Amino acid sequence: AVVSTQSTGEEDEEEALVCRVYFWQGRDSSKMSWPQFSLSSFRAQIKEKIGGTMPVEEVRCYQQQESLKFLSYFKGRFIIHKGKRPSPSSTAVPAGPVKPRLYQIRQNGNILAQRCVEIGCTSILLNSGFCYILKVPLEREEQTSYILYVWVGSKSSEDLMTAAIQIGNDSFAECDTVTVLYEGNNEPQIFWDALGGRRNYETNADWLDIIRLFRCSNEKGYFAVTEEFKWPDFCQDHLLDEDSMILDSGTDVFVWIGETSSEVVRKLALKSAQLYMQHVADLTGQPRKLSIVKRGKENLKFIKLFHGWGQFRARDKDTDP
């Protein structure tokens, strides 16, 4: 629960306190999470304890679609892990060996839109324009200890580097040591081994200052192309099955085809992308390459433009949290 002030609109009245309760829902959580919370005793306890003294406002937000106000409460240290949160009462030992975990720290066009998101643990997803945290397990008899590496890309900003080091030092208390590595400064072999070996990766993220996402839809009864983001703080879940999308990376223009989008929307989206490319080329003198991408068949060039890309959820099935 987060308590914030909200003006009543009257100059001679004191500001009213409002209790704002955020319900954050991970992209792999069950669709029943919100109904379960709505009927839970925890929700009733909040209203019972606070509702008598101030209004209670409930806000539901989804992973990587959080508002800047919500993110501001975490002061740049918002971390998203994959998988379940272990139960405090659970004594079960994880099956199989503990695997390394890789996190990407990225600001999406705004310093408040900074997240540390767990991604696939492979060196091909590194980028010199960002910072990363690698949590490496070390098996010692019956106990697992961890080494934490903070990898600073050679083209990452000073703000991002500072944030990465702070997150590494403050938010992974289970790790025995924290080591800061600067790209190209003789990273130890254990670092590359944990990432499955050293492979070629992207060496710049200039596209983050250029990238634009457009939605192509006929939901209002007519075809329209709209740009719904003032800065590039969008995620995979903004790609809607019933629509087509146009994504401009500065060098490529992708037309993403939703699985259930109509043939009309697909054809008009392609035509719109061609007109857009012509306009941009006339305006900037920098032509783009056109690519068509179908849902579920995205290549690495497309995936890298999104923070924390994962598997699409099954359309007709629910998943466990």
279 in Cβ contact with 319 (< 8 Å): no
Helix (H, G, I), strand (E, B) or coil at 206: helix
pTM: 0.86
Question: What integer pLDDT is reported at residue 12 of this predicted model?
Answer: 46
Mean pLDDT, the chain, as a whole number? Answer: 87
- State yes or no: pLDDT of 29 exceeds 80: yes
Question: What integer pLDDT is reported at residue 316 of this predicted model?
Answer: 46
Confidence band (pLDDT; 50, 70, 90) for 135? Answer: very high
Question: 111, 98, 105, 203: which is closest to 150 by C-alpha?
Answer: 105
Span 280-299, mean pLDDT? Answer: 94
- Rounded CA-CA distance 212/112 in Å is 19
Confidence band (pLDDT; 50, 70, 90) for 311? Answer: confident
- State yes or no: pLDDT of 273 exceeds 60: yes
52 in Cβ contact with 103 (< 8 Å): no
Question: 265, 262, 287, 261: which is closest to 276 by C-alpha?
Answer: 287
Strand residues in 91-176 grouped as ranges (E): 101-107, 114-119, 131-140, 143-152
- State yes or no: pLDDT of 156 exceeds 90: yes
Give the torsion sign (CA, 189, 195, 200, 206).
Answer: negative
The pair of structure tokens assigned to 203 is: 């060496």
- Rounded CA-CA distance 79/273 in Å is 35
